[in-house]
């Protein structure tokens, strides 16, 4: 709850230029004098975004429940794949990107539904909504928080797969593909997870809602990663990379426009 108060305070930054002009000086609220000095609204907006993402991170650093379960889960996904497919060196080569992305997506969904469900159950989402902050700032804050979790999982996975599958995965281009894929995934994921937390069977509904929407993105990410891993020429992966960027932009804009309607109460 302390964090909520912080946000409402930070947000007054955004409104102060208008408020200070409109309101009569003696009736200023106690909090107002502290935020009297003018700030550019853009900075204030991103401060709110940062505060929300930071709140998530801090809560996680305190409890570590999410990141631990996500990391363990990814390790197990890698295990299950290696055992189920009885991979030899050649087979490992051909499935490694599939394993990478499946693990990212499933661990990511685990994290998404936990993060939004915790927000709803503690009632902190309602408190955040009551605060006079821009809804989209709230959205991007959540997206950045979730994105960081997904990226941590991806990093763990890359290390794990490098060691266990004996392959050089740390290529800058591959990291770029992972970043682009994760951005698209968490953007749609955050939007849809904030819907699915209100449903009766929320843990099962999120994958059903999310997978069909991100599968196209996932397919291009897998293709691009495979081509990059095998050192194929640029033509082989370029169109997929472009598709990833286009999908990211569409998802970011679409989710930004639609999030308002999802959280309004």
Q: Which residues bind other proteins (CB under 8 A)?
A: 188, 191-192, 195-196, 198-202, 205, 208-209, 211-213, 215-216, 219, 239, 243, 250-251, 254, 258, 261-262, 264
Q: Residue 125 is inside which H or E element, if any?
A: helix 124-130
Shortest approach of other proteins to residue 252 CB, angstroms?
13
Give the residue with the Cβ less far from other proteins, 62 or 200: 200
Give the residue with the Cβ less far from other proteins, 127 or 213: 213
Shortest approach of other proteins to residue 264 CB, angstroms?
8
Shortest approach of other proteins to residue 104 CB, angstroms?
18
Q: How many residues does the structure list for the chain? A: 265
Are the beta carbons of 187 and 194 closer than 8 angstroms?
no
Rounded CA gap, 139 and 160, in Å? Answer: 31
Give the residue with the Cβ less far from other proteins, 45 or 251: 251
Are the beta carbons of 181 and 218 closer than 8 angstroms?
yes
Give the residue with the Cβ less far from other proteins, 44 or 192: 192
Shortest approach of other proteins to residue 59 CB, angstroms?
26
Are the beta carbons of 142 and 52 closer than 8 angstroms?
yes
Shortest approach of other proteins to residue 194 CB, angstroms?
10
User: In Å, how far are 8, 138, 188, 214, 217 from 248, measured between CA atoms?
Assistant: 30, 19, 9, 10, 8
Are the beta carbons of 64 and 150 closer than 8 angstroms?
no
Give the residue with the Cβ less far from other proteins, 18 or 208: 208
């Amino acid at each position: 709850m302390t964090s909520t108060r912080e946000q409402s305070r930070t947000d007054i930054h955004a409104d102060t230029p208008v408020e200070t002009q409109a309101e009569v000086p003696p009736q200023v609220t106690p909090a107002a004098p502290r935020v009297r000095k003018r700030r550019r609204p853009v900075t204030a907006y991103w401060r709110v975004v940062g505060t929300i993402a930071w709140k998530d991170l801090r809560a996680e650093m305190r409890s570590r429940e999410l990141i631990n379960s996500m990391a363990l889960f990814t390790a197990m996904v890698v295990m299950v794949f290696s055992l189920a497919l009885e991979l030899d060196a050649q087979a490992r080569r051909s499935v490694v990107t599939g394993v990478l992305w499946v693990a990212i997506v499933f661990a990511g969904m685990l994290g998404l539904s936990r993060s939004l469900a915790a927000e709803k159950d503690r009632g902190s989402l309602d408190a955040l909504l009551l605060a006079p902050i821009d809804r989209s700032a709230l959205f991007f804050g959540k997206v950045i928080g979730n994105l960081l979790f997904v990226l941590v999982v991806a990093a763990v996975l890359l290390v794990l797969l490098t060691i266990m599958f004996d392959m050089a995965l740390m290529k800058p281009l591959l990291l770029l593909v992972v970043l682009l894929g994760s951005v698209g995934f968490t953007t749609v994921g955050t939007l849809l997870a904030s819907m699915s937390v209100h449903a009766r069977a929320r843990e099962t509904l999120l994958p059903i809602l999310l997978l069909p929407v991100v599968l196209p993105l996932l397919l291009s990410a897998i293709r691009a990663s495979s081509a990059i891993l095998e050192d194929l020429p640029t033509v082989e992966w370029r169109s997929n990379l472009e598709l990833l960027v286009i999908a990211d932009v569409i998802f970011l804009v679409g989710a930004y426009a639609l999030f308002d309607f999802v959280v309004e109460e």
